Structure 1
């Protein structure tokens, strides 16, 4: 419906121009044309430009200075949407000069600011300079009506520069002026800008408060398009707060509203986000359905632009044909020119249709690629699930069978010790050794099962596991102090195999210090620097001579584990103690 209205406006604009060129507009008519809605102006910028040229000429005939200034302003707008930026600049500054002569300070401020805002994607620094110029004029003459929009747009430029404190300042200034004027339509725009910036900065509580305020106002004034927009913002809010289910709920509500009121750009965005969310939830069928709808609406928007372009070509052809009939008064030449224009129009149309057919084919190829990616992702997840099930089954078997048997051995040994409590001391020592060895084996088995049940082992997992190990060591020893230090931020996780190797290496180093070093203090440290992590196990024991001491199984095992980790292993030993170093690259960087 909206597209049909736009098409009718284009045709009416063409007819208005065709039949009114010979007449001179009155000042009232000039004002009416100059105040034409923005959407109508850009729907057919070529015809609008011709009309404003006519209005400019008539304003000059009557020395109507306000009409002259406003016509230049509207012509500058047309040139901007035709991407003729040099003419946009020229006519903007002519308009500013004319409004200056009329002492229309609000318009001068607004035009400088608008010019800066239009520059933001081509030259942000120049855009900010012109925005500041408009801002200073507006504040100097206290043009509150224009300052509402200027503050909002200046906040956008500050946000683009990542100067977020300044962006908040100007959004709030705009909001204050709108609240003062009780601007129910404008207030939600400022609240949403503030809320979405707070969402970007992860200030979720304040973001929610401002989005709620904007939503309530739009409900009160029954702003259907605004309501759809705010439901979309809620979808982004819950997505950022990791509540995918709520995010899906609000994007779905926003989708229903945007479709009901033909807000196609918002509909396209809702389908795109729903596709991404369902993919994250591994609901690949629904994700694919939403992705198809997204591409359909994307094509639809392109087709709307095509129809507008076709309407412009049709009206231009009709005008050209009539003008030639009047000038030449020869029916045969008019027919000839008509055929020429038709051929050119068909050629242009063929090129446009060919372009969109090629574009559509590319979209289908991309869609097929997306479908294949979804299938591959599903297959990968199924494979990972099967591997995880196998790991869980093996770990359950180890726990239920071998773990139970080891527990039975401990129980049996304890029973034997009780039975022979007053018997042979050597037998009792042997039984104690068997019991201790079996308990250590159970601990080792638990560590193995723990590693098997994880796809990744994080720094926090290692910290917890090593802390438990050291706590158990402290319970069985007196006189040894343990210090455990972590200084890591960017290191997040290791594979289960690498994590287990790191844990075993630290465990071996601590056990060696306990058994052989006669130490009173043992330190375990994780130190991050230069995209690597260094693990240091140090003691203040008696140390040993690396050049004369024969390397035992424990040190060889640690070196082997370091090699498997692709890390650097080093030992420093002296009379003051021993330090063992393991340096690893950042797994996340790799």
Structure 2
């Protein structure tokens, strides 16, 4: 039965790689091997993949030993990672040969022993003699003739089966090598001669060539130079005909196998193409049906979403209008509260004072001057309130100007009032008019309290704008404790600070310090401040 398409293609590529190698087309052979390994890797045929890398590396050993070692290491890594014992047994043997060629005899012996241990554990009677013979070769190189003989006898024990004619042929040649190394050329020549006469020796071209070459050496060591000459002639003839006979036969066999696999592959491709077309028709029909269903679902979903979106937009519009109306109402309420709490109270006081004078009070020039100043102050506060109604946001310069006005208003008192403004580089500048108006009112109240009740000689108004918050402080050098009459004023200042999201602190020591800390907010619009004013408790 033909192999599956991809598996058969990989096996055919492996055969083609060997054929190209025997023809001397080494680069093409490497390419065919690599194509086979890619298919094995794609199909996750790990044992075949490991052996393919090992075969490629072993073929490269006489052309590029470092590259051969690297390639075989890839196969070893796969076999070791997945614990593929059968490939490991063969790969360790072949890798030991590469180490032997590098002159690393200890490493070669280690890999040969690892291979032998795996094969013995698997009871691989075919593979065990190969590992034993590799170890025999190392012992002979080291001059350990006796230990080599022990290993070779163990190998003979495995190759006594009638079916292992090739194994017995190999061991006979190895015995010849052992005798030659031991300085027994007569025994060596006898073994090589016996090997050449064994059944199947003629078909093993490379082994026959090796045997003739070493037979010539053994005959020469014996002093039989005529026999050595004839053996050398036979070796030369065998070497010259090797490519023409064995190699061409092997190439023909491999090409035949490759052609057979190619035909199987083409047949499999035709069947796969028919099956693929049938699947494509079914898939196309199913895809069209699914697409129609999905399209209908999408259209229905879009219709529902549009209807829901229209409802949400209408609701958002109603909410926006309600918020605008509420903002206008809140603004009106805040303005009314400001007029009532400040301007209204001051006008009431002014009217009451004028009525008292009209009813027979003492209208002294000092009293009239005092009432005139009070009226001008009331007019100034009314202007500030109207200014706050006209403007939504102002910079810190506007606040500084209002503080300078407070300084000018206090110029008639005996105390000196100093206004200081500091600002950090990254401090925000925008300040809503409602916040600005309340800060001015707090500063005004604190300065008036200091002038009236502290008994000091100096009042310092400091404005510090930092990245996190705005700080306003009013400090005097007076008695250091608020007078009893300041209780209502302090309460009003705290309420104003709370209305704009700030915090008011009073510190008493060598004088009195009133401080307002106001965090910056991204939403500093009039509506935001009015919402805070609405949430704060109303002043009496």
Q: Would you say same fold, with TM above 0.5?
A: no
Which interval holds the TM-score relative to the shorter structure? 0.3 to 0.5
Structure whose alpha-carbon radius of gyration is higher: 2
Which is bigger in relative contact order (C-alpha 8 A, separation at least 6)?
2
Normalising by the residue count of structure 2, what TM-score does the alignment of the two structures yield? 0.43
